[in-house]
Every structure is written in structure tokens, then in C-alpha cells.
Amino acid sequence: MLPNDPNIFFSVINTYLRDRYPSAEALCEDQNLPAQTLFAKMKAAGFVYDRAGNRFVAEGKKP
């Protein structure tokens, strides 16, 4: 189960992306989480997906 706190969620998702999944889409498929839900939740918390780095970063920050 994924945490609800946005900062902890951000940390857990990036750890999963770094250690377990080649992409956010693969993570979503494995966790039965619609990709649009993940991206919307991260965007609402101020984070965007850096596809090249396979991680979420603060919106407006250079990857």
C-alpha cells in the first residue's frame, strides 16, 4: 500500500523507480494504479516526471 502523505509518497515512488521499475508506467501496472492517477497526484504535490531520469522532480527544477 502506498502512503497518502505527498512527501512520503514522492520518496517511496522515487525509491521504487530507482530500485524496482524501468518506468512510471511499469510501476503503475504492477501496483494496479492508473498512470493518470499517479501523475495527477504527483503534479498536485508539485512534482513532474523526468522520463530520462526515471524519477519525479520538483516542478520547474532542472532534472
Q: 63 pLDDT exceeds 60?
A: no
pTM, full prediction:
0.88
Tell me, yes or no, whether 1 lies in a domain. no
In tens, the pLDDT along 16-41 reads 999 999 999 999 999 999 999 999 99
Q: Which domain holds residue 19?
A: 6-58
Tell me, yes or no, whether 63 lies in a domain. Answer: no
Tally of structural domains, the chain: 1
pLDDT of the residue at 56:
97
How many C-beta atoms lie closer than 10 Å to residue 45's C-beta? 15
Instruction: Give the closest residue to 43 by CA, choosing from 29, 54, 58, 32.
Output: 58
Q: What's the confidence (pLDDT) of residue 46?
A: 95
Q: H-helix or E-strand containing 44? A: helix 35-44
Which residues contact residue 3 at a Cβ distance below 8 angstroms, ignoring those fewer than 6 apart? 9, 12
Instruction: Note the pLDDT of residue 62.
Output: 63
